[in-house]
Amino acid sequence: MEPGEPVYVESATVGCDGGGGPLGHPKVYLKIGDGGEIVCPYCSRRYILTTDAEPAAGR
């Protein structure tokens, strides 16, 4: 994956570990809000919710 390339997801809750291995980070679960996207606070990977996605649990 290219740096800065967005990741399109179908679920409003995503898990990010930075890709694992020596360049990874602790796994965090991110909940995508009404804006339709979220950026990982560790690695800055941007997740974008697709239009046919399921809502996040607890919403």
Domain map (residue ranges) of the chain: 7-54
CB atoms within 10 A of CB 42: 14
Share of the chain above pLDDT 90, in %: 64
pLDDT band at 1, cuts 50/70/90?
very low
| CA 15 to each of CA 12, 33: distance values in angstroms, whole numbers, following the listed order | 10, 15
| CA 31 to each of CA 2, 9, 23, 54: distance values in angstroms, whole numbers, following the listed order | 23, 12, 23, 12
pLDDT tens digits along 13-41: 999 999 877 878 999 999 999 999 999 99
In CATH, the architecture of 7-54 is Sandwich (2.60)
CB atoms within 10 A of CB 16: 21
